[in-house]
């Protein structure tokens, strides 16, 4: 079946366009066989349940690449490696094993008071030698 | 100052609730706001937990000043009440000279940033006064065929007023009692979008909290500030529709 798409047009309020598009999708789904509707409903529930677990941060590219490489090497999801790293950081921070003071520089942003400036050797990950 | 008229000749489409909620919202955003009840049912006063009084009658028939007649609701919100004596106002206006611009004359120097006129579901001389005084007409409508017909009626009246020289800055269609799960709502909403394009504002979801709030004499901002009618539908991280989003659209008009 050819799916009719509502594209966001300048002549429509963006919220109206988004709502129409979502309602159209639901109308199309309601015409599908029951099994297909159930499958789509399960997929939607799965996406929604994972929504609270999502986060977006700016990271140095070297860190991101290193995590991806480690994920491939160990066959472990990158999200779980990052979860472990963050959990360990928070534990160490609360045990006062980490001193942020040595990285702190005043920020000119109206939102933040400080920036953390990391030395190159901290960000440049040393790769394990084979 | 911008004057908004909330109009639809079809009754029960949410004109009063919409006017009350948006007026209170504007006041909370520090916009000095006046709400005027042009409906003899006098429901604006009840919506704020007050008794109906003949504010409009005193203003127009007894020639009292606006300052003397208004009831202060909160720091940035005043109300001109209405009651059954509003019917006498219509009779008096009918007998007056320049009868169609009486409200325009009264409001032209009013010390407010926004004036919201809650119109009766009728097409009488007071209704015409409201439409002539307005810079922007907000037309609440249920997504059903009869209410949408009321939208067309208002637009026809506005076109006639335009021909007599009045220029509106714009108008918006506001779907209310919106239930996104029904096919009829979808079809009506689709038709409204095709017909009115950018004039269609995001809808107000159907919400039982709206009916409850009137019974308590509170506005939605006090009674149910996080209800679906206020916040709209959740769609991922964004919200679609609801009075808070519509308030943002109104502020754009006021600041334009």
Instruction: Write out the residues of chain A at the interface with chain B, using a CB-CB cutoff of 8 A.
Output: 10-13, 15-20, 22-24, 26-27, 30, 51
**Mean pLDDT to the nearest integer, A80-93:** 96
Q: How far is CA B79 from the centre of its chain?
A: 13
pLDDT value at A92 more than 60: yes
Alpha-carbon distance A16 to nearest alpha carbon in chain B (angstroms): 5
Q: What is the pTM of this model?
A: 0.76
CATH number at residue B141: 3.40.50.300
pLDDT value of residue B199: 95
- With H, G, I as helix, E, B as strand and everything else as coil, classify residue B115: strand
- With H, G, I as helix, E, B as strand and everything else as coil, classify residue B30: coil
Residue pLDDT, tens place only, A107-126: 988 888 999 998 888 877 65
Q: Which domain holds residue B164?
A: 2-255
10 Å CB burial of residue A24 (0-12, 13-18, 19+) is middle
Residue pLDDT, tens place only, B145-181: 888 888 888 999 999 988 888 888 899 999 999 999 8
Query: Which DSSP state fits A2?
Result: P
pLDDT value at A81 more than 50: yes
Instruction: Write out the residues of chain B at the interface with chain A, using a CB-CB cutoff of 8 A.
Output: 180-181, 183, 185-186, 189-190, 193, 197-198, 200-203, 232-233, 235-238, 240-241, 245, 249
Q: Do A19 and B186 touch (CB under 8 A)?
A: no
Question: What's the number of domains chain B is made of?
Answer: 1
Q: Write the ipTM.
A: 0.87
Closest by alpha carbon to B19, among B1, B59, B46?
Answer: B46
For residue A29, what pLDDT band results from cuts at 50, 70 and 90? Answer: confident
Residues of B within 8 A of A30 (CB-CB) are: 183
Query: Which DSSP state fits B208?
Result: H
Q: Using CA atoms in the order B230, B19, B135, B34, what is the torsion angle rounded to 10 degrees?
A: -110
Q: Do A19 and B240 touch (CB under 8 A)?
A: yes
H-only helix segments in chain B = 15-28, 43-47, 55-60, 66-69, 86-95, 102-107, 125-133, 145-163, 183-196, 208-215, 220-223, 228-231, 243-255
Of B183, B197, B203, the CB nearest to A12: B197
Of A12, A18, A24, the CB nearest to B240: A18
Answer for the pair B71, B49: CB distance below 8 angstroms, yes or no.
Answer: no
**Mean pLDDT to the nearest integer, B60-79:** 95
For residue A2, what pLDDT band results from cuts at 50, 70 and 90? Answer: low
CA distance B114 to B120: 19
pLDDT value at B214 more than 80: yes
pLDDT value at A10 more than 70: no
Residue pLDDT, tens place only, B7-45: 998 889 999 999 999 999 999 999 999 999 999 999 999
Q: Scanning the structure block, which residue is given the tokens 């009115």?
A: B196
Query: Residue B139 CB: number of other CB atoms within 10 A?
Result: 29
Answer for the pair B5, B131: CB distance below 8 angstroms, yes or no.
Answer: yes
- Written as one string, the DSSP assignment of A39-96 is HHHHHHHHHHHHHTT-------HHHHHHHHHHHHHHT--HHHHHHHHHHHHHHHHHTT
Q: Do A12 and B241 touch (CB under 8 A)?
A: no
The dihedral of CA B64, B66, B68, B69: what is its sign?
A: positive
């Amino acid at each position: 079946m050819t799916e009719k798409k509502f594209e966001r047009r300048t002549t429509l309020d963006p919220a109206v366009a988004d709502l129409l598009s979502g309602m159209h999708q639901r109308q199309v789904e309601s015409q599908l066989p029951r099994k297909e509707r159930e499958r789509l409903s399960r997929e939607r529930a799965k996406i929604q349940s994972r929504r609270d677990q999502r986060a977006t941060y700016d990271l140095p590219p070297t860190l991101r690449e290193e995590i991806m490489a480690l994920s491939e090497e160990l066959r472990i999801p990158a999200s779980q490696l990052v979860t472990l790293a963050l959990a360990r950081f928070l534990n160490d921070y609360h045990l006062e094993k980490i001193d942020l003071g040595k990285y702190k520089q005043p920020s000119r942003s109206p939102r933040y008071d400080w920036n953390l400036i990391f030395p190159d050797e901290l960000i440049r990950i040393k790769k394990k030698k084979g | 100052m911008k004057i908004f008229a909330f109009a639809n000749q079809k009754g029960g489409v949410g004109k009063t609730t919409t006017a009350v909620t948006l007026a209170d919202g504007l006041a909370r955003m520090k916009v000095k706001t006046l709400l005027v009840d042009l409906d003899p049912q006098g429901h604006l006063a009840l919506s704020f937990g007050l008794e109906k009084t003949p504010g409009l009658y005193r203003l127009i028939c007894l020639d009292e000043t606006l300052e003397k007649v208004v009831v202060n609701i909160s720091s940035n919100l005043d109300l001109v009440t209405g009651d059954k004596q509003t019917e006498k106002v219509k009779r008096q206006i009918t007998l007056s000279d320049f009868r169609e611009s009486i409200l325009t004359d009264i409001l032209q120097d009013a010390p407010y940033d926004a004036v919201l006129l809650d119109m009766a579901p009728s097409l009488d001389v007071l209704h015409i006064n409201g439409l002539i005084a307005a810079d922007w007409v907000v037309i609440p409508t249920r997504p059903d065929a009869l209410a949408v017909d009321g939208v067309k009626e208002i637009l026809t009246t506005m076109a006639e007023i335009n021909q007599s020289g009045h220029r509106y800055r714009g108008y918006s269609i506001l779907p209310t009692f919106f239930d996104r799960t029904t096919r009829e709502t979808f079809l009506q909403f689709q038709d409204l979008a095709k017909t009115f394009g950018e004039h269609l504002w995001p809808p107000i979801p159907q919400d039982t909290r709206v009916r409850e709030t009137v019974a308590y004499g509170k506005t939605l901002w006090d009674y149910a500030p996080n209800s679906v009618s206020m916040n709209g539908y959740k769609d991922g991280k964004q919200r679609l529709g609801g009075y808070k989003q519509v308030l943002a659209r109104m502020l754009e008009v006021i600041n334009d």
